[in-house]
Structure 1
């Protein structure tokens, strides 16, 4: 089995955003970290698709 390299990053959130993230993670049956990764991947794919349209 291939293990992917992972980096550690400390993320500071205000209380309101942290609560929103925690609720969203619970709703999606994910950890908060998995929710952040999912949101970042979604944002990246959205941005890449937008760039392709502009090209």
Structure 2
């Protein structure tokens, strides 16, 4: 059984889009976003699964 997510994946995508759009690093995201480590985890996980290539 999987544990329940503490973070909505939509927040992850929004943070990644904000980072790409503004050029800011994930560590420097504004206060409304949760901790950068969560976004880094999902980004690297999706990168290993080649999800970005499938989306493009």
TM score, norm. by length of structure 1? 0.39
Q: State the structure with more CA Rg.
A: 1
Greater relative contact order (Cα < 8 A, sep 6+): 2
